[in-house]
Amino acid sequence: MSTGQANNENTLQATIEALVQPGKGILAADESEKTIAKRFQSVGVGSTVDNRRWYRSSIIAAPGLGDIVSGIIFFEETLTQRADDGTLLPALAAHNGIVAGVKVDKGKLPLSGTVGDEITQGLDGLAHRLTQYQRHGARFAKWRNVYHVTATSPSRLAIASNAEVLARYAAICQAQGMVPIVEPEVLMDGDHSIDRCAEITEAVVHEVFHALHRHGVALEYMLLKPNMVIAGKDHLTPSTPEEVATYTIRCFRRVVPAAVPSINFLSGGQTPIQATANLNALNSLSKQPWALTFSFGRALQEPALDAWRGDAANEEALQSALVRRAKLNGKALLGAYEQNMELLD
């Protein structure tokens, strides 16, 4: 092994150790401009550059957030933004004991040759962009591919093509000394059953790890960010936390190698309470070969947004709501969450 390779591995290992800590998860604050505009609109706030900057700096600075959150995923523009006192936001995160990361994909496109499937773009120039992100303080990256579920989707082409893209992204990240978060999301949209979600999730994740192996990705230096196995939002019978835990663990024990240090589940359309209850059920089962934690976006931020509503005078309430939600998920990591905790101050 060359000195450069050894230094690269040391860098990756240090980032993994910072991200994978008992009782902690990752906050996804990487909403695109289109997505965050919808979130802000729901609470009557315009999605201006300064509103986005102020809101994200406030959540990063929330007192106590670093006790539960080990990493935060930024949108690209956030890396160069500053808090009111002039501190760059990645530096503000580091000051609070939180590792800064960045979403690096460039969004979805229809996948040619299929009906309804999509593919994620952004590989061109990725290595150069990663170098720039590192200069701004980012130590890890995230890339999301999505899979629509119907009676005939996703197609075999979609499963194979998306896996190849995720693996190429991960290999480029590790070559640059950045830990990749690999996010294959089987969407919750639709009326499919939990059995159908399990079938598709197993096929998708199995294909992803085959592709990661082909591209020489070191599994010890990556994180997996998948969906939980859960019935579609429009299914007649919602999945119980116990069902979600049983199906999810059975699926991932079949297809996720033990070398992966952590599975950081996305919330994927679940409510904050639903996501926390399901995470708690997962951690109530017997110990698994990987850490089972969270990388939630809306399921962590929704109460904070509702407390803020665009008024800077509500900053303390915003931060308190965020940290409270994070602490409830911290309880879930221990299998110690109970729904009556939602009623407690």
The helix (H) or strand (E) run that includes residue 21 is none
Counting Cβ atoms within 10 Å, is residue 63 exposed (0-12), middle (13-18) or buried (19+)?
exposed
DSSP β-ladder status, 69-74 and 25-29? parallel
Model pLDDT, residue 3: 56
pLDDT at 335 exceeding the cut of 90:
yes
Annotated catalytic residue, options 142, 225, 302, 315: 225
Q: How far is residue 281 CA from its own chain's centroid?
A: 19
DSSP, res 154:
S
8-state DSSP, 151: S
> Whole-model pTM?
0.96
Burial class (CB in 10 A: 0-12, 13-18, 19+), 284: middle
Q: What confidence score (pLDDT) does residue 345 get?
A: 57
The C-alpha atoms of residue 202 and residue 182 are separated, in whole angstroms, by: 15
How does pLDDT run across 103-133, given as a tens digit for each residue?
999 999 999 999 999 999 999 999 999 999 9
Q: Which of 31, 118, 164, 183 is catalytic?
A: 183
Q: Domain residues of the chain, as ranges?
A: 3-334
Rg of the chain over all Cα atoms, to the nearest angstrom = 19
Residues 229-243 pLDDT 10s? 999 999 999 999 999
Average pLDDT, the chain: 96
Query: Residues 293-323: pLDDT tens digits?
Result: 999 999 999 999 999 999 999 999 999 999 9
Mean pLDDT (whole number) for 245-264:
98
Of 339 and 180, the structure prediction assigns the larger pLDDT to: 180
Q: What pLDDT is attached to residue 326?
A: 98
DSSP 8-state symbol, 87: -
- What is d(CA 311, CA 320) in angstroms, rounded to the nearest whole number? 15
Q: Which CATH architecture has domain 3-334?
A: Alpha-Beta Barrel (3.20)
Is residue 183 part of the annotated active site? The answer reads yes
Give the C-alpha separation, 217 to 46, whole Å: 41
Q: How far apart are CA 168 and CA 145, in angstroms?
A: 13
CA distance linking residue 19 with residue 69, whole number of Å: 9
Share of the chain above pLDDT 90, in %: 95
Q: Report residue 1's pLDDT band, with 50, 70 and 90 as the boundaries.
A: very low
pLDDT digits (tens, 9 = 90+) for 184-216: 999 999 999 999 999 999 999 999 999 999 999
Angle at 13 between CA 219 and CA 74, to 5 degrees: 85
Given a cut of 90, whether residue 65 has pLDDT beyond it is yes
Q: Is 225 a catalytic residue?
A: yes
H helices present in the chain, as ranges: 3-19, 33-41, 49-60, 89-95, 126-135, 156-175, 194-214, 241-255, 272-284, 298-308, 315-333
